[in-house]
Chains A and B, each alone.
Chain A
Amino acid sequence: MADDKKFAGYICTGCGIGDRLDASTLEQVATRDGKMQSCKQSEMLCGAEGVQMIKDDIANDSVTHVMIAACSRRAKVEAFNFTDVALTRANLREGVIWVRPDTDENTETTQEMADDYIRMACAELKAMNKPAPSGEQELNKNILVVGGGITGMTAALEAAAAGYPVHLVEKSGALGGAVGGYYKVIPTRSPYAEPAENPVPAMIETIEANDKITVHLHSTIAKTDGAPGRFSVELATESGSSQTLSIGAMVQASGWKPYDANQLPEFAYDKSADVVTNHELEALAVAANGGPIKRPSDGKEVKSVCFIQNAGQCSDKEGHLSYFSGVTDLISIKQAMYFKELNGDCDTTILFDNLRTPGAGGEDFYRAGQQAMVTFSKGIASEVVAGDSLTVKFQDKILNEETEMACDLVVLATGMEPNSGPDPYALLALEEIEDLDERAKKQEEIIAVAPPSILNLEYRQGTDLPHLKNGFTDSHFICFPYETRRTGIYAVGPVRRPMDIQQARDDATGGAMKAIQAAENAGKGRAAHPRSGDLSFPTFRKEGCTQCKRCTVECPFGAINEDEEGYPMYNESRCRRCGTCMGACPVRVISFENYSVNTVNEQIKNCEIPEEWDEKPRILVLACENDAYPALDQAAQAGVEVNPWARVVPIRCLGSVSLSWVTDALNSGYDGIVLMGCRRDDDYQCHFVRGSAMAAERMSKVGDTLESLNLEPERVELYEVAITDIQRAPQLINDMADTVEKIGLSPFKF
């Protein structure tokens, strides 16, 4: 194999690189130290001529490995897009000349910085292979939509409209879901003046007439196996029959369930049939069949009704929902207008504290409610007294008095709870408990209250999509709203967060498009976000593996299963290519073709460490390519200075950082190490969700390493850096330089 490799270096002297640096020295470094078989210069490498030169060398001289020393790897990606070779970039523009002042006394250190980056890039290239798809891929265009509510139906229709066959699975005997039972819906079009017709019946008709959509009623998912592009989904029907579908990607639209109002004894929900939830009122309005809405207790026409907003939600009381469901104020306005429409001169009061009417037409709809003579009273209900006529006691927040009102019907504006499957990590967390009896006991407790599984995934990391907060399915809120932590399975609608019909339909459309993209990507062996298009995938050296299972447990995306012997089984189309498994592996047997423990180690080793009396420290910066590295690039554009001792190595995710990089760097004489990743934990911004958190956990033990080497703990720092930290990111590096100056150089220089 080694004979087939041909290494070529290219040095760009444009953008001022040639003026600030000695290009012939750079070329010498690339060929002598970096062992490039050829090295060429260009005044504008990203121009048509420069790019053609590289293309010609690849075609005519069978160059397989290309090192480009020019701008940052984030710049000119389209020009330097050579898919058939292994490629690396030495960052001479943003990494060197833009962060160093152009003065005579700095010329020497600036040149050293550039030389080092060339050495490092060449060394990395030597350890890389050209990534290629595994060859296991096939294109499967079938999209599975779980849940036949308005969200699921929208996803099915959108995917079908794009030409993809859809299987729509619904647990109950009819499509329509929660909204199917509504009298009318919140208007989504101007002038937002009155409740709109329920769109569900028309949608059901369209779905039934669509030959691309196969509807499976009374069906649940008994088992899901495989990966995007080759999911094997076993459906079980109520009658006991089953069938297996071959699926490319999935959309989970399992929706929501209403909050259990039995937890609100203060509002007499359990005592009076005339206290109903907003969800139950829809059934009363439908049952009225165009006539006046009647009381459930005695069938008397409702003459006065009171809506209690935020019943059991937006509250820190035990048993209440801590969050606001976003849509319940608009729902109450809509339902109050039912009474104005159906019950003639009915007294309709909405007791609110904070009335929130989000969305384009929200405020207009609120005004429409006021125009229709719905009374909005700012007050907090404390109690409902049951009786022939109900008495609502409340505190009037404007008149500042305790008061009460009588009414025939009370509607509680209760919130939405997600219809999620059990949280897979609830059980996995128990593996930490050493006492087996206690673990079994805790396990029973969790299983007793866990909802039934929705997807029944045959994954090492559990049967369903992981949760974030309050049982809602985790999806990447900041950057990729549909991406869950199981590749190729997209959570949409209120299972993801509380939302109204319009939001859910928009969400479903987005999710359907992402599912199509996932199926197509899987067919080509390409990664989903954020390394979309990446062909590399992790493999492991079986003879070195100790079956420790860290990779299978720590993979944020549940991509790795275990075989019977406990060896990892990779499913590359579930993989997002973050390398968290690589960082987890204590025996360093996991690697990508173009990114491995070795590629980074080579970079670390091939930076020249000056002798101690040179008084030139070296600071290793491992910067996450998603946020920290772009932040440093932008800092360079803004002309923020970075210390000349710093050597920045981009990494895929902080989660991929192998502890050996830190140990080896310290051993080989680096004076300080700065690790930069994204924000972690509940309000994470880590593109790989858990990578940054994993790294923080692993690095918490780095103190022991430092102690054993007799080094100061300040030499290794881990920071959360956002892409906007343009001033802060370089400052953190400069701070480390100050620290090193204070505590002195590392004693490990040879």
Chain B
Amino acid sequence: MSDLNTSMIEKYRSSFLKEVEANVEEGEWVKMCMQCGVCSGSCPLGKHWDHPPQEIFMMIRANKREEVLGSDSMWMCTSCYNCIARCPRGLPITHIMHGLAVYSKRLGLTPKKQPTAEFSQIFWDNLMKKGRVNELKLGLSMNFKDGFGEGVKNAMANQKLGQNMMKAKRMNPMEAFGGHGVKSPGDLQKIIKKAQEIEESKIQAAK
């Protein structure tokens, strides 16, 4: 558990809802849910979620902080936007789910080995190197994320997929040597670094 987590627990002792309002992107919408359940019924992946959006909202109001932030559920969102399109109260549910995921990651509460969370990190790291995603390296990083032995197994299993992608010119083996990128990745990294500094100072201020 991070320092940030401990200080947030201290600060919002009685109301997780208020914590969500203050710290989660679009979190101020959570209180407007009227528990009709249309979002849960509309989610194409709903049955794979431990807690569909309607329940997540109710759990936030019921102060179930650890259960929500440690949940696998909001990581399951595929951003299909069905729930947003259908919510009679106009809640940006997809955005709230991503907001909750980001917040849980910031506090270090994301479940270990959560595949979507891991993929997101690998994707980000890959992107930041050259400002463009390197598909070959991204694929390899995903295959080998759990060590060399697992990596070989994964690579064998995905062999056919890789070949097809190369045939369709979706993946270039030459990418292994450097690969493509933006004109000056260094400048991009500076921009991102500055943005992260601003965000970090906000987070510290919110403690």
- B55: Cβ under 8 A from any A Cβ: yes
Assuming A396-B62, A398-B58, A399-B62, is B31 touching A371 (CB within 8 A)?
Answer: yes
Interface contact A367-B32, CB-CB below 8 Å? yes
- B8: Cβ under 8 A from any A Cβ: no
Beta-carbon contacts of A366-385 to B below 8 Å, as 1s and 0s? 11001101011110000000
Interface contact B59-A399, CB-CB below 8 Å? yes
Interface contact B62-A403, CB-CB below 8 Å? yes
Instruction: Select one of B14, B18, B55 contacting A399, CB under 8 A.
Output: B55
Interface contact B32-A375, CB-CB below 8 Å? no
Interface contact B62-A378, CB-CB below 8 Å? no
Interface contact B54-A398, CB-CB below 8 Å? yes
Assuming A347-B14, A347-B15, is B58 touching A373 (CB within 8 A)?
Answer: no
A436 to B58 Cα, complex, angstroms: 63
- Residues in B62-85 with C-beta less than 8 Å from chain A: 62, 64
For A369, give the chain B residue with the smallest CB separation.
Answer: B31
A80 to B17 Cα, complex, angstroms: 72
- B34: Cβ under 8 A from any A Cβ: yes
Interface contact A378-B58, CB-CB below 8 Å? yes
Interface contact A398-B35, CB-CB below 8 Å? yes
Interface contact A377-B58, CB-CB below 8 Å? yes
A347 to B18 Cα, complex, angstroms: 11
A515 to B89 Cα, complex, angstroms: 44
For A377, the chain B residues whose CB sits under 8 A away are 58, 61-62
Interface contact B58-A399, CB-CB below 8 Å? yes
- Residues in B4-26 with C-beta less than 8 Å from chain A: 14-15, 17-18
Most A C-beta atoms less than 10 A away, residue of B15, B62, B89: B62
A541 to B31 Cα, complex, angstroms: 74
A396 to B61 Cα, complex, angstroms: 12
Interface contact A398-B32, CB-CB below 8 Å? no
For A376, the chain B residues whose CB sits under 8 A away are 34-35, 61
For B64, give the chain A residue with the smallest CB separation.
Answer: A399
Instruction: Select one of B32, B58, B64 contacting A370, CB under 8 A.
Output: B32
Instruction: Select one of A355, A366, A370, A398 contacting B55, CB under 8 A.
Output: A398
For A372, give the chain B residue with the smallest CB separation.
Answer: B31
Assuming A366-B34, A398-B35, is B58 touching A375 (CB within 8 A)?
Answer: no
For B61, the chain A residues whose CB sits under 8 A away are 375-377
A373 to B60 Cα, complex, angstroms: 13
For A398, the chain B residues whose CB sits under 8 A away are 35, 54-55, 58
For A370, the chain B residues whose CB sits under 8 A away are 31-32, 34
For A399, the chain B residues whose CB sits under 8 A away are 55, 58-59, 62, 64
A145 to B35 Cα, complex, angstroms: 45
For B55, the chain A residues whose CB sits under 8 A away are 398-399
For A371, the chain B residues whose CB sits under 8 A away are 31-32
Beta-carbon contacts of B13-54 to A below 8 Å, as 1s and 0s? 011011000000000000110110000000000000000001
For B31, the chain A residues whose CB sits under 8 A away are 370-371, 373, 375
A403 to B59 Cα, complex, angstroms: 12
Interface residue range, chain A: 10 to 19
A636 to B64 Cα, complex, angstroms: 67
For A375, give the chain B residue with the smallest CB separation.
Answer: B61
Interface contact B17-A375, CB-CB below 8 Å? yes
For A349, give the chain B residue with the smallest CB separation.
Answer: B61
A253 to B17 Cα, complex, angstroms: 45
Tell me the minimal C-beta distance from B69 to chain A in angstroms. 16
Interface contact B17-A396, CB-CB below 8 Å? no
For B32, the chain A residues whose CB sits under 8 A away are 367, 370-371
- Residues in A345-403 with C-beta less than 8 Å from chain B: 347, 355, 366-367, 370-371, 373, 375-378, 396, 398-399, 403
For B21, give the chain A residue with the smallest CB separation.
Answer: A373
Instruction: Select one of A347, A355, A366, A396 contacting B58, CB under 8 A.
Output: A396
A347 to B14 Cα, complex, angstroms: 9
A375 to B61 Cα, complex, angstroms: 7
Tell me the minimal C-beta distance from A393 to chain B in angstroms. 14
Tell me the minimal C-beta distance from B64 to chain A in angstroms. 8
A330 to B59 Cα, complex, angstroms: 24
A397 to B35 Cα, complex, angstroms: 10
For A373, the chain B residues whose CB sits under 8 A away are 17-18, 31
For A375, the chain B residues whose CB sits under 8 A away are 17, 31, 61
Tell me the minimal C-beta distance from A316 to chain B in angstroms. 25
Tell me the minimal C-beta distance from A339 to chain B in angstroms. 15
For A378, give the chain B residue with the smallest CB separation.
Answer: B35
Tell me the minimal C-beta distance from A497 to chain B in angstroms. 27
For B52, give the chain A residue with the smallest CB separation.
Answer: A398
Beta-carbon contacts of A211-226 to B below 8 Å, as 1s and 0s? 0000000000000000
Tell me the minimal C-beta distance from B163 to chain A in angstroms. 48
A563 to B34 Cα, complex, angstroms: 63
Tell me the minimal C-beta distance from B90 to chain A in angstroms. 10
For A378, the chain B residues whose CB sits under 8 A away are 35, 58
For A366, the chain B residues whose CB sits under 8 A away are 34
For B17, the chain A residues whose CB sits under 8 A away are 373, 375
A371 to B17 Cα, complex, angstroms: 12
A403 to B14 Cα, complex, angstroms: 17
A396 to B18 Cα, complex, angstroms: 20
A367 to B32 Cα, complex, angstroms: 7
For B88, give the chain A residue with the smallest CB separation.
Answer: A363
Tell me the minimal C-beta distance from A365 to chain B in angstroms. 13
Tell me the minimal C-beta distance from A167 to chain B in angstroms. 47
Tell me the minimal C-beta distance from B39 to chain A in angstroms. 12
A366 to B33 Cα, complex, angstroms: 11
For A403, the chain B residues whose CB sits under 8 A away are 62
For B34, the chain A residues whose CB sits under 8 A away are 355, 366, 370, 376
A370 to B17 Cα, complex, angstroms: 12
A366 to B32 Cα, complex, angstroms: 9
For A396, the chain B residues whose CB sits under 8 A away are 58, 62
A376 to B89 Cα, complex, angstroms: 15
Beta-carbon contacts of A391-423 to B below 8 Å, as 1s and 0s? 000001011000100000000000000000000
For B54, the chain A residues whose CB sits under 8 A away are 398
Tell me the minimal C-beta distance from B200 to chain A in angstroms. 28
A639 to B35 Cα, complex, angstroms: 51
A375 to B15 Cα, complex, angstroms: 11
Tell me the minimal C-beta distance from A161 to chain B in angstroms. 41
For B59, the chain A residues whose CB sits under 8 A away are 399
A371 to B55 Cα, complex, angstroms: 20
A347 to B54 Cα, complex, angstroms: 21
Tell me the minimal C-beta distance from A112 to chain B in angstroms. 63
For B15, the chain A residues whose CB sits under 8 A away are 347
Tell me the minimal C-beta distance from A332 to chain B in angstroms. 15
29 A-B residue contacts at CB 8 Å? A347-B14, A347-B15, A355-B34, A367-B32, A367-B89, A370-B32, A370-B34, A373-B18, A373-B31, A375-B17, A375-B31, A375-B61, A376-B34, A376-B35, A376-B61, A377-B58, A377-B61, A377-B62, A378-B35, A378-B58, A396-B58, A396-B62, A398-B35, A398-B54, A398-B55, A398-B58, A399-B55, A399-B62, A403-B62
5 A-B pairs besides A376-B61, A399-B59 with CB distance below 8 A are: A376-B34, A377-B58, A398-B54, A399-B58, A399-B62
Nearest 4 pairs of A and B residues by beta carbon: A398-B58, A378-B35, A370-B32, A370-B31
